[in-house]
Structure 1
Amino acid sequence: MGSQEVSTVDWQGKHVTVAGLGVSGIPAARALHERGALVTVVNDGDDARARAQAAELEALGVTVRLGDGATLPPSTELVVTAPGWQPDKPLFLAAAEAGVPVWGDVELAWRLRGDNGRKAAPWLAVTGTNGKTTTVRMLASILEAAGLRTAAVGNIGVSLLDAVLGEIEYDVLAVELSSYQLHWAPSLRAHSAAVLNLAPDHLDWHGSMEAYAADKGRVYEGNTVACVYNVADPATEDLVREADVEEGCRAIGFTLGAPGPSQLGVVDGILVDRAFVANRQKQAQELAEVTDVTPPAPHNIANALAAAALARAFGVEPAAVRDGLRAFRPDAHRIEHVADIGEVAYVDDSKATNTHATEASLAAYDSIVWIAGGLAKGATFDELVIGAAKRLRGVVLMGADRALIHEALTRHAPEVPVVDLDRTDTGAMSEAVARAAELARPGDTVLLAPACASMDMFTNYNKRGEAFADAVRARADESA
């Protein structure tokens, strides 16, 4: 199916099983029921919240089965799943055996776009291990600066179903897609798409790095204008080569160095375009200055270049790229400057929950007191420490798996002083900040970039970042 074509399905009387209540399941059940489908929702959990959600759906005429997400209901013709449900669940194995297709919420949104009789907005899609949300929000800011009706949707928290079926008629959508979502989206065909980077993540879900990369690469399938890849990460270009795209679709690279033809890059502090110009062999178009990007850390400049490439693929003028990047401000806990105390900067990058994200964060500063630790999720830290050793003034470790980072530091950076906090209570963050302040010298950056998940100590990375910021601000008040 081509990128601009709209799929039509006769839902009347179609037996559809929706797997999972929650952010994607409930809107999917409602949308399908409204179109005449006979919907059964299955859910593993049977708690008070699930029962309340079930009651609302049952009042509409939707069948809900709580506490049993494993069995495929009789007569099922289609399964629509929440993205997090693993492919090896018995429900999906039963569906495969019965020849029943499985779609995710993204696939359903793709199939239903234009269903309300309005123009189906093209999708500019972004995936990758790290940087997806920032890049999608940068892209939306650029598109808005160009006067286009747009929204940042998908894995970013705004339901794609709500976007494609809502009242607003968008010109284009900036879509963040996770590997989970792409796994269950076989017919998605974006206008243009970017894979920002690839590093081991969610391997317990996908089963292997090869399977994880293949699901990321699905974002390129059927692209019509541009497949945007990271020159510094050859695996992303490999995915472009393997993709089956529409005739005329181009491979567009982004690089922190000087760009070659069909690339965007950086020259003397200027973001430049040698892809979407009349003579890319000899010409380059200035788009913005590095200082127009907040913060101007290397990995964030890369995000800006990817967003600019997708916007330019959609025909956005250079001035809108500059204005959109100037207007953009990152979400909290993403390399967020909290305060300066005694000529020491305190930066919150609690969102750096894996080694790949932390590597980018550490590369942004010259002299660092690093606060790290938490749940390692099977990660190893040797390469991270080897790459960062020369930048480390000191390290403060906390959390359940801190010993893994400590061992890597002992092997590869034995001269770096390490404070090992033998505690996993939430109050540990105040002590971590205090001990980091003792290690820091004027000109240093105290950086929370844990390289681990937060759930051993905090509800989520947001709460961890808030605890860090609170501790820093308390010190700032004391020193005022």
Structure 2
Amino acid sequence: MIFKDVRVVVAGLGVSGRAAARVLAGRGAVVTGVDARTEVDGAAELEAVGVRLRLGDGDTLPEGADLVVTSPGWKPTAPLLAAAAAAGVEVIGEVELAWRLRPEEGAAPWLAITGTNGKTTAVRMLTSILRAAGLDAVAVGNVGEPIVEAVTAGHDVLAVELSSYQLHWSSSLDPRASVILNVAPDHLDWHGSLDAYGAAKAKIYGPGTVRVCNADDPVTVALAGPDAQAFTLGTPAPGEFGVVEDLLVDRATTEDPVRSAEELASLADVAPFAPHNVANALAAAALARAVGVSCEAVREGLRAFRPDPHRIALVTEVDGVAYVDDSKATNPHAAAASLAAYEQIVWIAGGLLKGADVEDLVRAAAPRLRGAVLLGADRAQIADALARHAPDVPVLDVAATDTGAMDLVVTEAARLARPGDTVLLAPAGASMDMFADYGARGDAFAAAVHRLAGPGDGGSPVA
């Protein structure tokens, strides 16, 4: 797409917005950067490349706009975006812009991943697999470097993590292969309904995309439609990736998927081991196989993979009790996957549930719970569910919200735990009621565990 002299409004000047503004200015567009804040990082740099800045007013659409590129978090109801829609001005996101910026020849293929949970882990696994195959691969989109810069950097392949927000503002994406990992209620305040949320996720499939879905999640199967490949934690049927005994196998891309399967890796190659991480590994393998990556590279890439912090990470063991940080489990669906990985659990939960229902989560987890310690703004909702579905499980309520609250939480959890148990921070809620973000919450948990262990533990505050 030619952008010379096109009048583009970039709405929101965060990292992705600034990158979009820079790239568009470099293509000869007349760029106006808009942000409600009166000060933004990199303002001088943007002005130096010709971007006009309008700060302190994020509501008014500049006159004469031909195109709006919005930051993914802006709702369609935001006044500037609503004004653009009313005026017939197209609104796209940075990801759609990046797709339109690809070189006409030799563009790197996109391997795209979305889902309610597991996106970042799966895209990191995929990147590790691609690099093990000798490819110049980078993770972009909702993670890593700005995608508008990566599309022209000469990489062999892009591993693209896409949120529902980013997909909502996309219209012409056609990745080489894409997967929806799972779909559960989330961000409904933004999308308006579960159907709209699912429809946004489905935009990850273009007309030429190899469509991959989760055979164990009926919603993803419906969104992918007929002739999709699938992955499953069970024995795979022809056309699927799955698990046979302790092996991850491919029955989708082999020469004879009816009679044979190819070994990709073993369960021992997936770390940290948990059912949902096995599912992530199978999804990543399916995308890698779509661009011809060998089974050997899949295995080596999974072995080399190291997860990001705060994702089902063992902090340390104290008196025979394992302490695990899964602070990234910020919704019930993610917490359920984490709880399913352990047999005897003292569960640390709570935070901002954002209207999410925890009934199914608590009902499924109840047989595994040794006890529960609750904190945060919406802890009462979890306590009520525990009273209904796990009435014999001891529940401790921590009302404190100061900097020492996590020490109290960990101390109470240690009192409930017995050797062989796992104290699991899987909050099922967002962190902003008490912490800057889920990372700060996980750091506080890990630091409190190390203080509990004492000076001989030798651990780091960040597991």
Equivalent position to 2:353, from 355, 376, 384: 376
Distance of 2:453 and 2:65 partners within structure 1: 60
Q: Which runs of 5+ in 2 are unaligned?
A: 458-463
Equivalent position to 1:89, from 47, 55, 78: 78
Report what 1:125 is aligned to. Answer: 112
Q: CA deviation at 1:254?
A: 0.5
Letter in structure 1 aligned against 2:132: A
Q: CA deviation at 1:165?
A: 2.8
- Three-state SS of the structure 1 residue aligned to 2:127 is helix
Distance of 1:426 and 1:114 partners within structure 2: 51
Please list, as runs of the form range in 1=range in 2, the aligned pairs for 1:414-425 lying within 5 A after superposition.
414-425=391-402
Report what 1:62 is aligned to. Answer: 51
Please list, as runs of the form range in 1=range in 2, the aligned pairs for 1:266-305 lying within 5 A after superposition.
266-305=243-282
Equivalent position to 1:241, from 213, 216, 225: 225
Contact 2:320 2:420 in 1 (8 A): yes
Report what 1:428 is aligned to. Answer: 405
Deviations 1:220-263 (A, max 9, x none): 12233x21100110110111118xxxxxxx51111111000000
Report what 1:181 is aligned to. Answer: 166
Distance of 1:308 and 1:455 partners within structure 2: 34
Moved more, 93-102 or 320-329: 93-102
Q: CA deviation at 1:454?
A: 0.6
Please list, as runs of the form range in 1=range in 2, the aligned pairs for 1:8-407 lying within 5 A after superposition.
9-46=1-38, 49-50=39-40, 53-114=42-103, 119-166=106-153, 169-224=154-209, 226-241=210-225, 250-407=227-384
Deviations 1:408-431 (A, max 9, x none): 111111100001011122311111
Distance of 1:268 and 1:425 partners within structure 2: 48
Q: TM-score, normalised by structure 2?
A: 0.96
Contact 1:203 1:209 in 2 (8 A): yes
Deviations 1:114-140 (A, max 9, x none): 27xx72100000000000000000001
Deviations 1:60-97 (A, max 9, x none): 32211112222211111111111111011121222122
Contact 2:9 2:31 in 1 (8 A): yes
Report what 2:461 is aligned to. Answer: none
Report what 1:4 is aligned to. Answer: none
Contact 1:193 1:223 in 2 (8 A): no
Contact 1:426 1:458 in 2 (8 A): no
Contact 1:190 1:222 in 2 (8 A): no
Q: Which runs of 5+ in 1 are unaligned?
A: 1-8, 243-249
Q: CA deviation at 1:479?
A: 6.9
Q: CA deviation at 1:264?
A: 0.6
Q: CA deviation at 1:324?
A: 0.5
Moved more, 393-402 or 421-430: 421-430
Deviations 1:185-228 (A, max 9, x none): 1111100000000001111111111000000000012233x211
148 and 214 in structure 1: CA distance in 2 versus 1, 3 angstrom threshold:
same
Does residue 436 of structure 2 align to residue 459 of structure 1? yes
Q: CA deviation at 1:155?
A: 0.2
Distance of 2:424 and 2:143 partners within structure 1: 25
- Three-state SS of the structure 1 residue aligned to 2:243 is strand
- Three-state SS of the structure 2 residue aligned to 1:151 is strand
Q: CA deviation at 1:57?
A: 2.1
Q: CA deviation at 1:283?
A: 0.6
Distance of 1:476 and 1:11 partners within structure 2: 59
Contact 1:400 1:424 in 2 (8 A): no
Q: CA deviation at 1:107?
A: 0.8
Distance of 2:91 and 2:429 partners within structure 1: 32
Report what 1:3 is aligned to. Answer: none
Distance of 2:10 and 2:234 partners within structure 1: 47
Letter in structure 2 aligned against 1:124: L
Distance of 1:465 and 1:211 partners within structure 2: 32
Distance of 1:240 and 1:231 partners within structure 2: 10
Distance of 1:101 and 1:270 partners within structure 2: 48
Q: TM-score, normalised by structure 1?
A: 0.93
Contact 1:433 1:472 in 2 (8 A): yes
Q: CA deviation at 1:41?
A: 1.1
Q: CA deviation at 1:31?
A: 0.9
Distance of 2:30 and 2:378 partners within structure 1: 47
Identity of aligned residues (%): 61
Report what 2:460 is aligned to. Answer: none
